[in-house]
Structure 1
Amino acid sequence: MDGRAKAPGAGTICNALANGQGSAFAIEAYTTASVSLDPKRDGVDGTIDGAPDADTSLIERCVALTIERFGDGEGGTVRTDSEVPMAAGLKSSSAAANATVLATLDALGVADESDPTLTATDATDRVDACRLGVEAARDAGVTVTGAFDDASASMLGGVTVTDNTDDELLAHEDRDWAVLVWTPPERAYSADADVERCRQIAGTADLVIEHALEGDFARAMTVNGFAFSAALEFPTEPMVEALPEAAGVSLSGTGPSVTAVGDREALETVRTGWAERPGTIRLTTTQTEGATIQ
């Protein structure tokens, strides 16, 4: 009973820490999960490739919850391999959760178009699958908000706007952007973010969500970037450097990565400036397909 799936990382348009509503967009950077189940085995053991000491509770919980809903008490193993850096604000946890849930459904034989229970290709069913990963993330304590905004963008592709308090999808659209990502050497864990400072900018976050629901995603993410950089005490210089070349730029998640979107040629100019900073730079694109079974 083997399954395999991959899910993209994402960048932030609106961080949901301030008011419970968020928005994110999928990018071409992936986490792959491989799941092997055995009816005779108890429990789930997880491994993260290249990180032998990393916490595997999220991916193990994703397998367990999916089995509870669709399986028959199977145990097994799960292994993830990712090009999305952990604790960098690029939704590595959401990508890992989505890939793991779909890989488990694949191993159980549920994720098939002929199965009326969960096709994993139908948008409604994919949102339900996404919610399993969000539940697992809350159980594992790797998220404050539940990150349904990040998880839905990763699962569905494109741009999503959500109400994380009810795990409700408010909007889903595609955007064809080039995406520039600068990731400094330090790491920042979402669960450690100063939620109270973020809530102090709830009024600004309300404005960001208004822009997002109107489809003005680039402006929304720029306003979000300056507001949350201030709240979370990250420098704003990289965003200032990106404007006006970029259509939009923001701190991604709770940092430390900064993402800029727009025309590829314009972002090449931004990359030249950002390259002088320590860390890594990736020039990629938005992803509209979402998570897929392999």
Structure 2
Amino acid sequence: MKKPTSTSTVYGAISVVNAIATGKGSTLGISLKVKAKITLEPGFTGISKNFANDRLVNKIIRTIIPNKILNNNFISISLTSDIPAGWGLKSSSAVSNAISLACYKLIKEDIYDKAVLNTAVNSSLWAKVSVTGAFDDACACYFGGINLTDNHYKKLIKREPINNDLWVIIFLPNGIYRGDIMKLKFHKELFNHAFKLAIKGDYWRAMNLNGILINSILYNNYEPLLCAIENNCLAVSYSGNGPAIAAVVYKDNIENLKTSLQNFNGKLIVSQVNNFKAFVE
């Protein structure tokens, strides 16, 4: 007898405007992805997984899957990911979305996007893997494209596809110290201005302003950002709270910017932007 199984695919994202200062953020989907496979094995109990973060995973599972199933099945979770963890590239949001989506598929034919996202976001808050719940991150990972959200109210304000000809060069710097992220809240007006630019569709100006603000407050490491701007990227910013730096470029400028950024101490990742929605099988 075939064991009940579901496999979800969710994508990564980068920041356009950081949400910590105002509760409102903007994010852009990228093609790095996470896959979560969940299998139920009747007759046993327990949860097995090939990754850490017990609190987050257990909260999602116990929120979605009824006790009568949990008490009569062994749950096996296998996760594969292209997204480096701990760099601000929304790996936690992608993972929580992927597990939430796969869990809902096991118990329901009709899956509601809002339920998947709310479970992932609320569980992230409960497990303290996010300051705001990262609804902006969750939306970009789940829907793709550009997303603007009010994280406090879990409201999707605006979403639209992005030009598929765009790519993102991600720089993972070595030996960079990050300041206190709560200091971002002292600069609400400036982050609110960046968000207003994004609302108007001026995404690259908003992202550049976000990059300057994050760098000034948390890092004081201007050289990679200036290098990206001087090599004709559309926009460059720290993603999330960093330390990853993401530069948006057209395809024909990828090699030029990669060559320039290789002068700095760190690792480069190249990803196309993503407009595809998460899916489950």
| Aligned counterpart, 2:6 | 3
What are structure 2's unaligned runs of at least 5 residues?
Answer: none
TM-superposed CA distance for 1:3, in Å, is: 1.0
Amino acid at match of 2:215: S
Secondary structure at 2:265's aligned position in 1? coil
- Alignment root-mean-square deviation, CA: 2.0
The answer to which of 251-260 and 275-284 deviates more is: 275-284
- Is 1:64 the counterpart of 2:62 in the alignment? yes
- Is 1:180 the counterpart of 2:169 in the alignment? yes
| Aligned counterpart, 1:208 | 194
- How many equivalent pairs are there? 272
Distance of 1:208 and 1:72 partners within structure 2:
48
Question: CA 1:234/1:66 → structure 2, altered by over 3 Å: closer, same or farther?
Answer: farther
TM-superposed CA distance for 1:235, in Å, is: 1.1
TM-superposed CA distance for 1:277, in Å, is: 1.8
TM-superposed CA distance for 1:291, in Å, is: 1.3
Matching of residues 42-53 of structure 1 within 5 Å: 42-48=45-51
TM (norm. structure 1) is: 0.86
Distance of 2:175 and 2:34 partners within structure 1:
21
| Aligned counterpart, 1:198 | 184
Distance of 1:234 and 1:128 partners within structure 2:
40
1:22-57: CA deviations, max 9, x gaps? 111110101111112246544534322xxxxx3333
Distance of 1:135 and 1:186 partners within structure 2:
33
Identity among equivalent positions (%) equals 28
Question: Which of 196, 221, 227 is the aligned partner of 1:235?
Answer: 221
TM-superposed CA distance for 1:186, in Å, is: 5.4
Question: CA 1:86/1:187 → structure 2, altered by over 3 Å: closer, same or farther?
Answer: farther
TM (norm. structure 2) is: 0.90
Distance of 2:270 and 2:150 partners within structure 1:
30
Question: CA 1:97/1:193 → structure 2, altered by over 3 Å: closer, same or farther?
Answer: farther
Question: Which of 53, 56, 67 is the aligned partner of 1:55?
Answer: 53
Distance of 2:83 and 2:212 partners within structure 1:
24
Distance of 1:159 and 1:87 partners within structure 2:
22
Distance of 2:276 and 2:229 partners within structure 1:
29
- Is 1:255 the counterpart of 2:258 in the alignment? no
Secondary structure at 1:200's aligned position in 2? helix
Amino acid at match of 2:268: I
TM-superposed CA distance for 1:234, in Å, is: 4.7
Matching of residues 80-95 of structure 1 within 5 Å: 80-95=79-94
1:174-223: CA deviations, max 9, x gaps? 112211111124589xxx97343110111111011101111111111110
- Is 1:99 the counterpart of 2:86 in the alignment? no
1:91-134: CA deviations, max 9, x gaps? 000010111111112222x2x4xx3xx2xxxxxx2233111101
Secondary structure at 2:16's aligned position in 1? strand
| Aligned counterpart, 1:51 | none
What are structure 1's unaligned runs of at least 5 residues?
Answer: 49-53, 119-124
Amino acid at match of 1:230: S
Does structure 2 retain, via aligned residues, the 8 Å contact 1:5–1:100? Answer: yes
